Structures are given as C-alpha cells and as structure tokens.
Structure 1
Amino acid sequence: MSWLVTGGAGYIGAHVVRALAAADLAPVVIDDLSSGHEAFVPDGVPFVRGTILDSDLVEQALRDHAVEGVIHVAGYKYAGVSVQRPLHTYAQNVEATRILLEAMHAADVANIVFSSSAAVYGTPDVPLVTEDLPKRPASPYGESKLIGEWLLRDQATATAGSEHPLRHTSLRYFNVVGSGDPVVYDTSPHNLFPLVFEALIEGRTPRINGDDYDTEDGTNVRDYVHVADIAAAHVVAAQRLAAGQPIEPAYNLGSQNGLSVKQIMDAMARVTGIAFTPEIGPRRPGDPDRIVATGELAARDLDWANRYTVDEMVRTGWEARRAH
C-alpha cells in the first residue's frame, strides 16, 4: 500500500515525500510541474505527471499504485495574488479538491490529509489562534482553503454509512520556511524567504511590503515554521488515519510565538553575513496584520513541535538555495 502526494514535486510536497519514505509509507507523486520540479522527486519514487483536475488520471494513479491514502498538498498558494486571480485560485484549490475526492471515492480510497492554511482565519482579533476560532478569510486563497475543508467534511458525512467512509484531517499553517534536504528549496516568486535570498544573491536590497501594520514594529507577524517539521506532522496524521486512530478534523501547526518580517530580515543579515537595511514598499492586498496560532492539539496528537530556531530556518534555506 502507498500514499499519494498531490503536488509532491513542490517545495512542501517534496519534503512530505521524503518523510513518508523515511517512515516506510511508500510515497507516490502526482504533479503537473506548474510550480514543482521533477528533480525534487527522489529516485525510485513513482511519479505521475499531470493535473489533479484530470479525474481519470487521478483515479488511475490511485488504482495503479494501490493507494491507501492521499496527502493533498497541491494548490495555488499565493494569498496576495489570489486577489487578482480569484477564478484561477478556485479552479486549482476548490474544483481540484472536489475532483480528487470524487476519484478517491471511485477507487475506494478513504484517507486524506489536507494541506490547509491559517489564512482561513483572516485577521483574528485574539493573540493566539485556536482551531475553533471563527473563520473569516481575507483573500480568495483563504476562502478556497476553507471550502476545501468543507468538501472533506461533507464527503465524510455523505460516506459515513458506507463500506469506505472518508477519514480526514486538515492541517492549517502559514509561512513554511527552511529546508530539510539540500536538493529541495523554496522556488516561489512570492514567499518572503526566497524573495530575500534572490535579492541578496543578485546584490539587490530586500524589500518589506508595508511597515504600517498594527504590530509592535509595524511589519506583519506570522508563524514561521520549518518545512521538515511540517512534513513530519503530515506523516503522523497519515499514520493515525491508516491505523483508524481518533483524529481531529483540523489542527493548527502554529509556532505559539510569531515573528515579524523585520525580525526575519534581521536574522537574514545575521546568518548570511550580508548587512542591509530593507527597502519599504506598499502592502500586499489580502495580507492581515498578525496571525499566530497555538499548536497544542497538534502537539498532543501529531508529535508537533518547532524544532528549529529562526537562525536555523534561515541557515537551512540559505544553504539549500546556494547549493543551486
């Protein structure tokens, strides 16, 4: 039996694939390479190239590889850009998830771990976000992730009395950074770490998008969590589902203590040894002031922990990027 990782050639997905392989859970990758890289897929891991919007392809992959569960990482993950591209965001994140669930039902695959997002909360008015906080997404991206969670919930209800009832959990997190393997690094044109790395490599000055947020230093505050920790939590969730153990419908993979963009910039200069004063640009649409989540439920059930300091996050990401 194997686990299908949608988006398994991407930055987060490729780390999940490695964590599955280390746990002897036989990963299989499906990815259309729109933002992923075939070189990120380890040798010996089956790779299906194509979009999960192709229901026949997904169902065939599930059957061909005797898949017992799916870790659904594929998606369009750019909150700010989603404001300009809402229809594309919904197609990639909502319609694709619906098709995936339909294919899973046809192939009698009943376990799914969904890569959701802390963006489902919008701009919370509490210091720490818990799973039961009201959901008020501030961008089409956040809305699409929340709808994805609803799809899982509703399909689980619909199949509850069947031979293969859907079992699911959604993992909500925000800024994923660092690297757990020098082969894999974040190639996003929108995420903070790769934007800063590219600027430093090219001799440009990194930029902060907005310094007038309602935070301690004026720059927005987020959970920054290491990609290897994120991948490990996905694997434990898959193991709980496969073993039929109790599992919550959603978990925050939070840091408990957020970091501001300015604090990240300070760590960048410190770790890379390149001194700079960031330029200040305008805010990005859809960016909330602050989102910091607890990880208490995930620590209880998924062995969730933040095992990396901010300097280690920067160092592992910087070393992986420079290796390329």
Structure 2
Amino acid sequence: MTIRRKTKAVYASDRELERRKRMRNLKEDVAASWFLLPICAVFVVLYAVPLAQTLYYSLTDWDGLNLNPGWVGLENYAKIFSDASILEGLGFTIVYAVLTTLLVTVIAIPLAVQLNQRFLGRNFARSLFFFLSVPSLALMGMVWKLILSPLQSGMINTLLVNLGLDTVPWLSNSRLAQACVIFVGVWAQIGWHATLYLAYLQSIPSDLYEQARVDGANARQQFIHITLPQLTPGIVVSMFLLMSGGLKVYDLPFTLTGGGPGFATNTVSQAIIDRGIGQQQYGIASALSVLFTIAMCVVIFAQLGISSMIQRRFV
C-alpha cells in the first residue's frame, strides 16, 4: 500500500509539473503574440485592405472619380486578354525576368569566384563592381538612354560615325530596344549579386579545398563539387530577388525607352500605371493588378519549391 501511495504521489507531482509547464508556455506565447500585433496591423492596413479594395474595383467600371461605380463582373478581365498592348507587355515582362535572372546568375558566380582570389587591387575591384550597382535602375536608364540614343548624337553612334560606320537604331528598333533593356538590367545588377555570392564564398571552409587538392581534384572539379553546392543557399536567395524584381520592373524600361517603340518594352507594371493613372481606367488596372498578383504568387511559390528541391539535393 505504501508503494502504491508513493507511486500515485509521483504521478500527481508529474502531472502538476506538466500542467505548470503548459501554463508557462501558454503565457510566453501570449506575451510574444503582443509583439506581433503591430506587424499584423501594418500588414492589414498596407496590404490586406488595399488588396481587397483592388479586388472589388476590378469588378467595377470605376474611373477614380465616381463614388458609385457600376458593377461589370468579369468584363475587365476579358478586356485584358483581348488587349494586344497588355499582352505584349506581359510577354516582355516574362522574357525580361527570366533572361536577367539567368544571365546575372551565370555571370555573377564566376565573377565572385575571381574576386575571391588573391590579386593586386582586389579590394578596389570589389568596390568598383559593387558601387556600379548602387545607383537606381531609373538613373541607370537615363544614363544609358544617352549612351544608346538612336540619333547620331548618341555616344555609341557618335563613335561608330567617327569610325566610318553607320548608326544603329538601338532604341528605335523593337528587338534592339528589348535587347538593350535586358542588357542594361543585367549590367546594373551583376555587381550587387556578385558581392552576395562573394559573401557566401568567404564562408566556405578552406579545409574543403585543401583536402580536394590533396585528393588530386583540379580547379574545375573543385568548382563543381565544392563551390557550387556550398553556393546553393546564395543562388536561391539571388534568383528569388532577381525573378521577383524582374516581374515587377518598371523604372528601367520607362526611363530608357518609355515602353517603346510601340509597346515592345512595355511592362505589366507600366500598363497598370498607364491604365489607372494615365487613362483613369481603374477597373481594368485593378483587374490587371489582381491577375499580376496571382501570377507573382504562382511564380514565387514554384521557385521556392524548386529551390527547396535543389537545396535537399546539394546541401
């Protein structure tokens, strides 16, 4: 009987300790939740409410002035898929986002590897590539507009004329204008992403390379089997930033080409602003914003899924 009483007392004591532990954890969770309230409030005010309003206006013919807009249902969405200018802008936006992401990644990784080596003026080279990426894309667009001007007064065309060659319609030809926007977008972002990769390279233990050299691995094998797998987290972050930024791009094409010639370099963001603010077709602009938000979410979640598989494969 004594042993049973002691056993029951131990069980009761354990249950009491467990209850107190649960209560303590609950109090900690409640205390921590108070710190989340400001963040939740900001999210609701700045994101959730505007998104709900955008969804509502996308189903109306609101012009920005009428206090009682008419209900049109899915008519605005149908107009989007029948508008050639919007579809052309969507196509260029996707091409820009994909190509800039791939080109910057392919160029920035070898550049970061070179900047990680020991050579004379290494710190100056690192600073140079980084500070070239500091100015905004809008400023880059205005500067490169002077360089790539299709007129004879353009910097490159002036050089071609002095060499006895014909001028090139850099920004007045649709294909050349698209290529120029993509080129400037890549040029403006390489330095920053190379610096990002450089930070990850410096965190790789040197012992891995020393052991690989002892085992007879050459530079190419070390890059493939050590550098790339260790850079996988950096590649995921870099490509996520490039893809999301490329899909939202507005400032560079607008300042470099104005979306032209025609609608060759028009983007989805520019189409939303032009339709909403420029033409006061807020219903169509809101519908395009909703579709663009959905497309962005799909692309980002797909990218996160692919990145997760890559990380499980190499890390």
TM-score range, shorter chain: under 0.3
User: If each structure's strand is expressed as a fraction of its own residues, which one has the higher value?
Assistant: 1
TM-score by length of 2: 0.23
Look at both structures and tell me which one has the larger radius of gyration over its CA atoms.
2
TM-score by length of 1: 0.23
